[in-house]
Amino acid sequence: MPELPEVELVKRELTPVINLKITDVELSQHIYNGHKLNKRTIVKDDLDAFKEIVTGKTITHIGRRGKYLYFLINDEYKTTHLVSHLGMSGAYFIVSDFEDIKEHNFKKHWQVIFSLDNGQKLVYSDIRRFGEMHTHESLQDFPPFQRMAPEYTDELGFAHYMKMLRTKKYEEKPIKAAIMDGEVIPGVGNIYAVEALYLSHILPTKKVGNVSDKRLRELFDRITEVFELSLSHGGSTISDYRSVTGGKGEMQNSFNVYQRKECPLGHELKTKVISTRNTFYCTICQR
């Protein structure tokens, strides 16, 4: 699943579509079929309304909040925010021709094609279809954004993280579950949680109330460090993450514990399911 660094990289690579107008929107049969069954596959708005809102608007800005991307789209009458989450396996491609998508699976599982006024297409592909797209007049209309903590890069990010972790709500929670909660810090998924906990020598199962302020600060710094390292390595490609140009990241080669059998010091790693995801940790290096 793409986490903050992968989504940030997609955002940066989508820059070429800024200032282009969306002239048409095509939706896949999977989306139409899902909507017929009331499952609202990927596009959460009513489909006719979605097409009408998006068509004819110009993309003027692309932002990111946590693991969500948002496109600011407007025409002379109206400004709308198109919010997009990549789910487990979503990917965007900017191509001159649909056939330019090299990988069969991404070509086969295209879901939304935005035609642009320079003749290119912005294609959203999603193999497992857990991604989502919806429009909002204001970003504050979207409840997850109302509750989301400031970004780790925001000057308020660290103070907010400390304040939240010291509330009653998190006291009894495993530290791993707490840092994967966007109300504490946005964008930390399973991989970066496991890596940051190893680097800060904290057991993922430890209750937040039993972790000192000093160690919580250390953990925040390590989360920042793994995010920045991943950004500089083009993100992690575990299975389905692709950059806009179809490239794969290299961060997976720098993992200390995620999907490893031993930690860098040669200790055998333990695995346990925490917050529904497989957690890797070392009972010698982490306490």
Among 263, 274, 279, 280, binds Zn ion (CB under 5 A): 263
Q: Which of 36, 265, 273, 276 binds Zn ion (CB under 5 A)?
A: 265
157 token code pair? 């990010």
Pick the piece of the chain touching Zn ion (CB under 5 A) from 38-46, 67-75, 156-164, 258-266. Answer: 258-266
Q: 226 vs 263, which CB is nearer to Zn ion?
A: 263
Q: Which residue stretch of 21-29, 121-129, 153-161, 262-270 sits at the interface with Zn ion (rule: CB under 5 A)?
A: 262-270
Piece in contact with Zn ion (CB under 5 A), picked from 22-30, 51-59, 142-150, 278-286: 278-286
Contact between 257 and Zn ion (CB under 5 A)?
Answer: no
If you count DSSP H runs as helices and E runs as strands, how many of each does the chain have, helices first? 10, 10
Q: How far is the CB of 287 from Zn ion (least distance, A)?
A: 11
Mask of contacts with Zn ion, 152-171, x by CB under 5 A? --------------------
- Residue 267 near Zn ion by CB under 5 A: yes
Site residues (CB under 5 A) for Zn ion, limited to 63-92: none
Asked if 285 interacts with Zn ion (CB under 5 A), we say yes
18 binds Zn ion (CB under 5 A): no
Among 18, 49, 156, 284, which residue interacts with Zn ion (rule: CB under 5 A)? 284
Q: Is residue 73 a contact partner of residue 133, using CB atoms and an 8 Å limit?
A: no
Return the beta strands (E) in the chain as ranges: 22-27, 58-65, 68-74, 79-85, 90-95, 110-116, 121-126, 132-136, 270-274, 277-281
CB 179 within 8 A of CB 196: yes
Q: Put the strands of the sheet holding 68-74 in their side by side order.
A: 58-65, 68-74, 79-85, 132-136
Question: 70 or 255, CB closer to Zn ion?
Answer: 255
Q: Mind telling me the catalytic residues?
A: 2-3, 67, 277
Segment near Zn ion (CB under 5 A); pick from 32-40, 134-142, 226-234, 256-264: 256-264
Side-chain half-sphere exposure of 32, counting CA atoms within 13 A: 7
Cβ 238 vs Cβ 191: under 8 Å: yes
Q: Shortest approach of Zn ion to residue 183 CB, angstroms?
A: 31
CB of 108 to Zn ion, least distance (A): 42
Answer whether 197's CB lies under 8 Å from 191's CB: no
d(CA 269, CA 197): 13
The CA distance from 21 to 11, in Å, is 17
How far apart CA 21 and CA 59 sit, in angstroms, is 6
Residue 260 as a binder of Zn ion (CB under 5 A): the answer is no
Please give the residue ranges that form the binding site for Zn ion (CB under 5 A).
Answer: 263, 265, 267, 282, 284-285
